[in-house]
Chain A
Amino acid sequence: MQYNPTIGIETHVELKTNSKMFCRCKVVDTEEPNVSLCPTCLGLPGALPVPNKKAIEFITLLALSTNCKITKQGMFHRKNYFYPDLPKNYQISQFDLPVGINGSLKIVLNDQEAEVAIERVHMEEDTGKSTHMGTGRIDSATSTALDFNRSGVPLVEIVTKPVLKTSLEAVAYIEELRQLVLDLGISEGKLEKGNLRFDANISVANSESDVLGTKVEIKNMNSLRSLERAIDYEIERQIKALNNGEIIAQETRHWDEGKEVTKPMRSKEGSADYRYFSDPDIPNMVLDEEFVNIIKSKMPKLPYQKRLELMQTGLSIGEANILSKSNDWIVKLFQDVYSTTKNSSSTYNWITGELQGQMRKVEINELPSWFKADSLSEIINLIESNKISFSSGKVILAALLVKNVTPYDVAKEQNLFQENDSEKILQIVKNVITENSEVVVRIKNGEDKLIGFLVGLIIKSSGGSINPSIAKDLLSKELEE
């Protein structure tokens, strides 16, 4: 039987505010435990929450950039459950009146644009951090240590509709979302730091059925790689189970990174009755037109807009997508170099391939201060006009990364300018043919690979400055005669 998987993704994004969601404690990134606390985020008796304006602006910005409808009169709700790292034993969240609903996000999948439907965008507060101490195994911990620095840090949760079909689509969605929050300037967007955390809801259904299958929630995927693998594993697991006539249980499963399997979590979490109700400490939040317009006016260029712009230079959507998700300086460099070369393809290849490869080799993360976009343009133009070879271009680029020189100086100094004069080259070709008559005979007998050997000799005897393609053309012509 044919089965169709359906995937929905819930993503928590940590917002880049100075202070926490409901108090004025600093958002800190430190291993030192319990150093940024107040009665509110520690849940002391008598403390009250007051929402952070910047966080609400950030959430509204994200909701608007994903085409969501903004809820004019929003509310904060208490989500009740007991867990030691949740200080109040309720989490302030938004239930039926979130900041934004019914939006969409444009992503790039298999070199084509696709759209992911967004169900809702709402605010949440983070919990504290538990460390399980004991023999090392998580289920044999002897005690749990708690650090509440993270408690009350603002999060935005973005929930997609159950519309994704593959793990690759899910990865492309997260990549796009990550770029979006970076471009909006609302999050550090670091997956390895947990700035973006995602859960996936997965179901599979008979392809002839209109009804979705039973939903299974997968948690604890810490990287794009584990997201991809966990989804693939879970889809396969569910299909296998259905083929064996089993019933899929609605449950929450945990991705085991080491064993690369999903495992059911304790039923305690699955059967929760959160008793949501409007938080009586926080009056209704009105996001009126004036507020929304102010936020709209702060909207930067979005990733899909950046992509469209880049595509106007002639890049493919795939290239534009990769470039749009690169660091800002790379995009800027591309634009500057392109403006003089007018050759998007070679500019793209030089920047995303050679330049970044060489930077990795010499272990630098940013360009040296003397490195100018014009220098790269010059290299590309020298190659395009056959004044230097492609490999000489690489040599020049390497030199430019370590010292403050111009491409011209390097080419001159290292004698990299090419001989393009056919007359002069022909003379050398003729000499080489005469001097290697045995090789010429073998070539004529079919040993074609020796042509390269002769080209090498030609370039060598010129001191390396000959344009190899001209040399090769002339050689071929001579050999035919």
Chain B
Amino acid sequence: MSQGGISEYKAIIQNGLWKQNPGTVQLLGMCPTLAVTTSALNGLSLGIATAVVMAMSNAAVAPVRRFIPEEIRIPVFILIIAALVTVVDLSMNAYVHKLHNVLGIFIPLIVTNCIVLARVEAFAAKNPTVPSMLDGFMMGMGLAMVLTLLGAMRELAGKGTIFSNLDLVFGPQAKTWIPQLIPDYHGFLLAILPPGAFIGLGLLIAGYNVIERRRAAAAAQASAVPAAAH
């Protein structure tokens, strides 16, 4: 079944983290991307929760993909995703209660995040279990990267801190881990409010495109030079 081996896995990782990044390329899952990223910690935690759900749902669908009739595949996929999200939701509520309070409604909403169903439908329904799981996890990590970066940008611009509120995850002793980066910062509200999310995401996508264009230009030049030499 699997023919590619290592190079196949490499391609999956590259696609998830960069080439097909859900946040900056596919633009899927925008609801949490824009709403939750008021701080780096929020972005990172929701991103990791999404990645875990995606890895689990892809891993759950791939082994049974031959038994799911075509007509009911979407209900079955959603059923699996919803069950897994609820498991993650309950576990977070039990073991990282304060963080769960902060992320609130966005954890159950992972069910409706298009990127989860998209990867199940586009990848896990056609591929073996291990690559599917890797694909789900890497796509999720790609999204988590964008969420964290966007959260960090907005938090730095809006409050002058990065990764504040670590105590929500690591207990009260973490309160002193992260100092205020800019002392006496009075805050820049726009960055924290919804417009800041749109502006920040726009900047990230622009940055991605600049890097991609430079790479493409460099690649074109590299292939043009030997061609001219002949």
Q: Do A and B come from one complex?
A: no
